[in-house]
Amino acid sequence: MNQLSPLTDLRSKMERITGISRRAAVAGVPIGVAEIDALLPGRSLARGGFHELLGDQGAITSFLAALLGHQKTIQHVLWITPSADLYPGGFAQLGLSHRRMTIAWTRQTDNRLWAAEEALKDMPGGAVVAEVEQADLTETRRLQLAAETCGSIGFLVRRDRQPSAALTRWRIEPARSLDIRPCWRLTLERVRGAEAGGTWVLEFDNASLSFNLVAEVADRSLEAAE
């Protein structure tokens, strides 16, 4: 199991990760729901760049774990976080095994951005997730250029709304489910080179490790109560 790692140990871990990743395919990352993928260039979240997520932190974390967990083309995930409380065991329930993860943590935003940039330069078959409080246009351009270097893919979890070089921007919020399955409300706010727009409610099927597009469950719950 990959334990939580300070940045001083990240370089050696990256050498091991990238040695594996260079043999992986470099396909994009589809959501797996036709109605959503159809709005994305290449019908997937493109590699050679990074994608932004805003909204509820817990919902973003679980959604990303489910998204990356069921992707067969992603061999390893580097998750860069400001806290040491991520629980890989919980990710496994969403399909993302701890054997495919390395978690690096540092409190300094600059260090997280640096780690993400360095990883994006050499992880063509993996994925990089970085949680930051804020990032300006120059910093996001550096991330984009790093991803373009080897066709890698990154996900920037951020709290601010500054201009960005990201390929897409999403808002992720929790949604009410009629059973115990994880459920999220996704809004596609921006797509570079295409018209953005659309909000969907997705549930995750743990058995098939896939997303299902569902009706507005909150409205259905209200109707059932009347």
In a domain, 29, yes or no: yes
Closest by CA to 51, choosing from 215, 167, 201, is: 167
124: containing domain: 7-169
Residue 2: pLDDT over 90 = no
Residue 3: pLDDT over 70 = no
Strand order in the sheet with 183-191: 101-105, 77-81, 127-132, 153-158, 49-55, 168-174, 183-191, 199-205, 210-214
Beta-carbon contacts of residue 84 (< 8 Å; ≥ 6 apart):
4, 105
Q: Which residue has the tokens 């992603």?
A: 74
Q: Are 154 and 120 in contact (CB under 8 A)?
A: yes
In a domain, 97, yes or no: yes
In angstroms, rounded to a whole number, what is the distance separating the alpha carbons of residues 98 and 75? 12
Q: What is the pLDDT of residue 11?
A: 54
In a domain, 181, yes or no: no
Of the listed ranges 6-20, 99-113, 197-211, the one predicted with least confidence: 6-20
Q: Are 182 and 204 in contact (CB under 8 A)?
A: yes
Q: What is the pTM of this model?
A: 0.85
- Beta partners for 104? 5, 80
In angstroms, rounded to a whole number, what is the distance separating the alpha carbons of residues 157 and 109? 12
Of the listed ranges 6-20, 87-101, 117-131, 150-164, the one predicted with least confidence: 6-20
Rg (CA), the chain: 17
In a domain, 156, yes or no: yes
Q: How much is the average pLDDT of 50-56?
A: 98
Residue 17: pLDDT over 70 = no
Which tens digit of pLDDT belongs to each residue from 128-170?
Answer: 999 999 999 999 999 999 999 989 999 999 999 999 999 999 9
CATH of the domain at 49: 3.40.50.300
In a domain, 76, yes or no: yes
In this prediction, residue 86 has a pLDDT band, given cuts at 50, 70 and 90, of confident
| pLDDT, the chain, mean | 85
Q: What is the pLDDT of residue 219?
A: 44
In a domain, 96, yes or no: yes
In a domain, 192, yes or no: no
Q: What is the pLDDT of residue 110?
A: 95
Q: How many domains does the chain fold into?
A: 1
Q: How much is the average pLDDT of 79-83?
A: 93
In angstroms, rounded to a whole number, what is the distance separating the alpha carbons of residues 183 and 201? 7
Tally of CA atoms within 13 A in the half-sphere of 163 that contains its CB: 3
Q: How much is the average pLDDT of 67-96?
A: 89
* Helix runs in 96-191, H state only: 109-120, 137-150
Q: What is the pLDDT of residue 73?
A: 84
